[in-house]
Amino acid sequence: MARSDWEAVIGLEVHAQLLTDSKIFCGCSTAFGAPPNSQTCPVCLGLPGSLPVLNERVVEFGVRLGLALNCTIREHSVFARKNYFYPDLPKGYQISQHELPLCENGHLVIDTPEGEKKVGIIRAHLEEDAGKNLHDPEGGPSRVDLNRAGVPLMEIVSAPDIRSSDEAVEYLKNLRSILVYIGVNDGNLEEGSLRCDANVSVRKRGETGFRTRVEIKNLNSFRFLKQAIDFEIERQIRVWEEGGQVVQETRLFDAQAGVTRSMRSKEEAQDYRYFPEPDLPPLRVDEALVARVRESLPELPREKQARFVREYQLSAYDASVLVADKAVADYYEQAVAAYGKNPKTVANWVINEVLRLIKENPEGIRATRAEPERLAALLRLLDEGRINAGSAKAILEEVHRTGEEPEAVMRARGLEQVSDVGVIEEAVARVIAANPAELEKYRAGKKAVFGFFMGQVMRELKGQGDPKLVSEALRRALDS
C-alpha cells in the first residue's frame, strides 16, 4: 500500500517556563545559572511541615497565556498532586492541575500550503517544575540541583489536529512566538525553558477514529521535532502494513541516530494517583482579573502580520517573516518611520540583508549595530544615487559591525558613486582610445561589444560609476 494512503495524527504537549522572578509556591528566585541548591527553601525542598503559597504573578501569566490562545479561563481551577518517585522530585509528588485546569478549549491559527488552519488547544494548566539530576561524566555519584524545583510551568496540550511534521513545526513556531510576545516565556528550546513532546499516530485516509499513539520526548529543536515525527510516521506505517500492532508507549528521540527508541511501554507507565492538593485552596480567578489581563495583551503575531499586509502592502509571507520575532517587527517599523516612504523596499532590506547578517546570532536583531535610523540613512544614499546597490550592501555590513554612520563608511572606503558626468566622459574617452579594435567591431554593427565597453569603463571608475550615467555617456560616445 502506498505511503499516500496513510495520514498522520499529531498532538503536541508543550511545557513553558513562566518568566516570573520567584517560584510558584515560595519566594525563591528563578534566576538561571546560580550555584546548585542556592535558590531553595523548605517549601521547594519539600521539607515536612512546609506549606505552599501560590504566587499571584503566576496566575496572571497563566491567564495571559490562556487568553492569547483563545481559551476559556476557568473561574475555579484545582491543584492536584501527581504522585511519582524520581530523585529530582523531593516531595514524591508534583503539584499540577488535573481535572480542572486554568485554561481550556482554545485554538491557535497556523499557515499551511492549503491555507489557514485552526489547531485546537485542549487545555493549558499550571504546574511546578522538578529539579535537575546532574550526572558525573567520569562515573562518580550523581547529584541533584533543586534550583529549578518549583519554577512555574504552563503545560499547553494541543488537540490531535496536526497532520504532518511541517504543521507541527508551524504550530510550535507560532506558539513560541505568542509566548514571547506576551512576555511569559523566553522561547528557548535548546536550553529547555520551552519543551515539547509529540504524540503521533497514523491512520488510513478516510478512517474516522484514531489509532494507537506513541509519545516522543526530548525534542529540543524544530529540526528534531520534524525528524522525530517523520521517522515515527514511517515506522508506524511499516508496523501496520506488516500486519503488526503499534503499541502505546513513550519513545525517546536519539538525535545522533535520527531515530526514536522505546523508553517505557504502557504497562510500565505509572499510575499517578492524582488527588486534589489539600494544602492549596481551589484557585479562584475573578472576571476583573481576566478583564484587566485582556486589556493589557499586546498586539499578537497574527494581528501584527495582518496589519503589516494592510498598512505596508507587504506580501503575507514577508509580513510573517517580519513578525515572527517581535524585536524584528519593531526594528522594521522604526526603519519605515525613519525612512518615511517605500515600506516594501525597507522590508526587502530587512529580510534579505539585515536578517542575513544576524542569522546565527543568539542575540537576534539586538546584535546589529545597524540601527533602524542607520538603515534609513543608507537607503537615502542609495536614493540620491550616491552609492550603488553593491556598495550599499558592503556599507551595511560594516555599519552592522561597527555602528558607524553609512555616509562615513562610504567616504572612508571610497565607495561614493561617481555621478559627475565630466569624470565619466573622461573615463569613456580613455577606454575607447585604448580599444580601437573593439570600437571598429562596434561600429561595424557588433552591438554586443557594448557590454565589453561598459565593463571597462566601470573598471576604470573602480566599480563606482553610476551605471545609468555610464551607459548614457558610452552610447553618446560610441554612436556619435
Q: Does 290 bind ligand ADP (CB under 6 A)?
A: no
Phi, psi of 295 (to 5 degrees): -60, -35
Q: Does 95 bind Zn ion (CB under 5 A)?
A: no
Q: How far is CA 271 from CA 11, 48, 91, 222, 268, in A?
A: 22, 24, 17, 31, 9
Listed in order, strand segments (DSSP E) in 285-363 are none
One residue of 201, 260, 391, 417 binding ligand ADP per CB under 6 A: 201
CA distance 267 to 249: 8
State in angstroms the smallest separation of the CB of 346 from ligand ADP.
Answer: 40
Binding to ligand ADP, residues 212-271 (CB under 6 A)? 213
User: DSSP state, 465?
Assistant: B
State in angstroms the smallest separation of the CB of 185 from ligand ADP.
Answer: 18
One residue of 13, 254, 330, 405 binding ligand ADP per CB under 6 A: 13
State in angstroms the smallest separation of the CB of 213 from ligand ADP.
Answer: 4
CA distance 211 to 131: 35
41 binds, among ligand ADP, Zn ion, none (CB under 5 to 8 A by kind): Zn ion
User: DSSP state, 35?
Assistant: S
Q: How far is CA 297 from CA 63, 172, 332, 367, in A?
A: 10, 20, 21, 27
One residue of 147, 199, 305, 388 binding ligand ADP per CB under 6 A: 199
Here's the x/- map for Zn ion, 12-51, by CB under 5 A: it reads as --------------x-x------------x-xx-------
Nearer to ligand ADP, 86 or 210 (CB): 210
Phi, psi of 8 (to 5 degrees): -90, 150
Number of Cβ within a 10 Å radius of residue 366 = 11
* Number of shown-chain residues binding Zn ion (CB under 5 A): 5
Burial of 74 (0-12, 13-18, 19+ CB in 10 A): buried
One residue of 96, 147, 158, 305 binding ligand ADP per CB under 6 A: 158
Which of the stretches 6-14, 289-297, 441-449, 455-463 binds ligand ADP when contact is defined by CB under 6 A? 6-14
Which of the stretches 89-97, 157-165, 440-448, 452-460 binds ligand ADP when contact is defined by CB under 6 A? 157-165
28 binds, among ligand ADP, Zn ion, none (CB under 5 to 8 A by kind): Zn ion
82 with 274: CB under 8 angstroms? yes
Q: Does 157 bind ligand ADP (CB under 6 A)?
A: yes
Nearest CA-CA partner of 145 in 34, 274, 259: 34
The binding site for ligand ADP (CB under 6 A) comprises: 9-13, 157-160, 199-201, 210, 213
The binding site for Zn ion (CB under 5 A) comprises: 26, 28, 41, 43-44
